[in-house]
Amino acid sequence: MRCKKCKTDMHEINREYILIDADYNELTEGQMADHMAAELSGDYGEWGVTEITYECKKCGNIVIEQIDGCHVDNKREHNLKPKTPYDRISQRWKERVNKVKEYEVIESEEESYGEFMPSITFGVDHQEYQRAEKLKQRLLKKYKGKKLEDVIEGEEFRTNKGICYQIENQDEINLKVINPDQARKKILSELRLIYGIGEVTERILKEEGYKTIEDLTEHPRFDFEAKRFLEIVDKCDTCQIVDWVGHWFPKSHPLALYPSGFYEKEDFTFFDIETLGLFNRPIILFGVAQISGDQILINQYFLRDIKEEPGALMGFLSQINKNSIFITFNGRTFDIPYTRERLAYYRIKGKGDLEKPHFDILHFSRRAWKERVPNCRLTTLEKHLLGIERKDDVPSALVPEFYETYMRTKNIGPIIPIIERNKQDLITLAKIFSKLHEEWE
């Protein structure tokens, strides 16, 4: 091949057999399954092309040529192919990460600049971006030549699906939760949870001596529904209680939080993830925290390379047991569905472990404090309710770029604040959960 710029011969510098990118919106379910199977197995078949990279030694021009089908030197292809399905997936993600920035830098209200994915609707303030960029450069300089294990103490977590880097920490916490008797009393005092009872009827019933739903079990009209709900409460069936409450009240109502008082503090599993985007992209860090006495125990599972995601997923699952109760911040919409999708992507059994009682405190926080704080972001609540203001924090939208810089440079600097951010999010999550119980006790 000849260079179009300087008309000299170009030299082949790389040849690789790759999988064609596919728009799943344009494929049938059968084609989608075939494409995913091809990516996992490495046998690309009709989905594969040979990609040849040429370089002009004179002017430095780079040209990439794709040849349909399997026209590739088998020996060279064998040397270039990764060893496992997870290696192949890792390699594909590295290619995509290098091409895409999943944020939009907002210069002003009138116009914006920068590359962004069409599906991404949020932006990064220009000043915020500049601060983050300066932080990244400072971190690159500070941690140049240093190893992750020398800076953040941890160890390899090994599973039958692969490995990842596990980090353990703990901190003091005074978690306050409504006690079971008080939770039961508050729930059963709300007569409007029974079909046919509104504000007026509730007032009349209380004047007649029916103070609680337990009292209504003797009422000639409301006895059946009252007995049915009382049975659910006596079983401490949190999911059914929350669903019942949600039928008559907003799911952010305090009545939907009180059932958390039926559990031991040790059952609470505080959960937060850091990802490379909003949809169908790897989770690079799983954070799980649990309570033990006056301590919050934090386990983080970090991907030193994209291929370690299956190992990190297994690390997260290892923290879940039959009594686990999820406490998240927007986790019902984001963290749990996202994790479920990643488990399915790698065909890892464990989706059933995610079907647990779940208290998403984002919605409760909006109800409790929306009139007192500028917004209900976790860091804003942290600042106004707990008096904590973070330094050297990375905006969520820039986490993918910081991680991409780490992968490209092998410098651990940009991932240090991501790991610290995730740990602090878990601690703040637990403290805000406790604050809600104080607020509505």
Asked whether residue 124 is domain-assigned, the answer is no
Residues 409 and 377 in one domain: yes
Are 72 and 12 spatial neighbours (Cβ–Cβ below 8 Å)? no
Asked whether residue 60 is domain-assigned, the answer is yes
CA distance 105 to 122: 9
Asked whether residue 101 is domain-assigned, the answer is no
Residues 204 and 251 in one domain: yes
Residues 247 and 339 in one domain: no
Residues 226 and 330 in one domain: no
Q: Radius of gyration of the chain from Cα atoms? A: 27
CA atoms within 13 A on the CB side of 413: 19
Residues 322 and 411 in one domain: yes
Asked whether residue 89 is domain-assigned, the answer is no
Output the pLDDT for position 109.
43
Residues 305 and 171 in one domain: yes
Under-70 pLDDT residues of the chain: 21-47, 68-124
Asked whether residue 126 is domain-assigned, the answer is no
Asked whether residue 109 is domain-assigned, the answer is no
Global pTM reads 0.74
Asked whether residue 436 is domain-assigned, the answer is yes
Residues 221 and 279 in one domain: no
Residues 170 and 196 in one domain: no
Are 319 and 325 spatial neighbours (Cβ–Cβ below 8 Å)? no
Which of 224, 242, 261 lies at the terminal end of a domain, its last residue? 261
Asked whether residue 183 is domain-assigned, the answer is no
pLDDT tens digits, one per residue of 11-67? 887 777 777 766 555 555 555 556 666 665 556 666 677 778 888 877 777 777 777
Question: Could you tell me which of 301, 243, 282 has the C-alpha nearest to residue 90?
Answer: 282
Q: Looking at residue 152, which CATH number applies to its domain?
A: 3.30.420.10
Output the pLDDT for position 57.
78
pLDDT tens digits, one per residue of 65-109? 777 654 333 333 333 344 455 565 565 555 555 555 555 555 444
Which of 31, 47, 81 lies at the terminal end of a domain, its last residue? 81
Residues 429 and 335 in one domain: yes
Residues 167 and 285 in one domain: yes
Query: What's the domain range around 207?
Result: 189-261
Question: Could you tell me which of 248, 243, 233, 242 has the C-alpha nearest to residue 197?
Answer: 248
Residues 203 and 303 in one domain: no
Which of 81, 96, 128 lies at the terminal end of a domain, its last residue? 81
Residues 230 and 341 in one domain: no
Q: How many domains does the chain have?
A: 3
Burial 319-349 (b: 16+ CB within 10 A, else e): bbeeebbbbbbbbbebbbebbeebbebbebe
What is residue 2's DSSP assignment?
B
Question: Could you tell me which of 362, 188, 194, 328 has the C-alpha nearest to residue 258?
Answer: 188
Output the pLDDT for position 88.
56
